[in-house]
Amino acid sequence: MYIKFITFIKNNIILAVITFLLVLIVNKNSYSTEIKKNESYYYDTLAKNWINIFPDGNRNAAGPKFFKYLIDQDLSFDDFVEFNKRYCPVSGSLIAPGSEPAFISMNEVDSDNKVCGDMYRCCWPCVCDSMKYAKAMEISHKFQGIEKKFTVMTIDNPCGKEEFPLEVNRDYFCIGEKMNLDQVFAVDQKMIIGLLHKPTSCNSSDLLAINNHPVVGQQCKIRNSTKEEELISGMGDIFIKLSK
């Protein structure tokens, strides 16, 4: 009886030690996963999935393809937001880790309100084009069962245009004159091109800061008053033809 009791105690001690070690291993792996989710993690993940997002390699003006790909994944809202910092909504280019966003303003869909927020972009002309040709809209979506509201950048359905830009893969966007909802995400006939980060209703101080900014204010005023056929930087007239 005594020997059985000692054996029972030993077995329970061994079981407790094994359980403790397993908990340590799981916690260590969780911690390792957590620290890997930096800007490089989100960039590298999109880069690895590039061929799945763009089978023909053409990402011209294809921010909507990135957005659709991401919203279809089983992501937490925080991961969704971080992934949306690593591509340009206007050009479809990947954005390198460490890039700082531009603080911009844009008109709100179906109102005279202006919405301010951060835009992650590959180059300054994309900022100007988004402010002139895109509009902000607040939408909601469930992420892993949790409803979240956020603000997106949108353009009108481009699929009925006579001059659809040849540089863009039309099949990514359209089926006839309707949007291809297997490839892009739309709300109320507005095609979503990307996320506007940290959105807020613009106040006078916000607008003054934007207007006085050397790029977002001064350079964008010049670009946005230039004739389309004379635009030779950024996406040129590709995104403009798609969005206007």
- Specify if 7 maps to a domain: no
Q: How far apart are the first and last CA of the chain?
A: 87
- Specify if 18 maps to a domain: no
- Specify if 219 maps to a domain: yes
- Specify if 22 maps to a domain: no
Long-range contacts of range 65-71, CB-CB < 8 Å, 24 or more positions apart? 65/92, 65/172, 65/183, 65/184, 66/92, 66/194, 67/152, 67/184, 67/185, 67/192, 67/193, 67/194, 67/195, 68/183, 68/184, 68/185, 68/192, 71/141, 71/185
- Specify if 81 maps to a domain: yes
Residue 32 has a pLDDT of 40
Averaged over successive runs of 10 residues, the pLDDT of the chain (244 residues) comes to 48 50 45 66 97 93 96 97 97 95 96 96 94 97 97 97 90 96 96 98 97 95 85 73 89
- Specify if 32 maps to a domain: no
Please tell me the pTM assigned to this model: 0.83
Angstrom distance (rounded) from CA 41 to CA 25: 22
What domain range includes position 165?
Answer: 58-243
How many domains are there within the chain?
1
- Specify if 8 maps to a domain: no
pLDDT digits (tens, 9 = 90+) for 81-112: 999 999 999 999 999 999 999 999 999 999 98
Angstrom distance (rounded) from CA 16 to CA 202: 58
- Specify if 21 maps to a domain: no
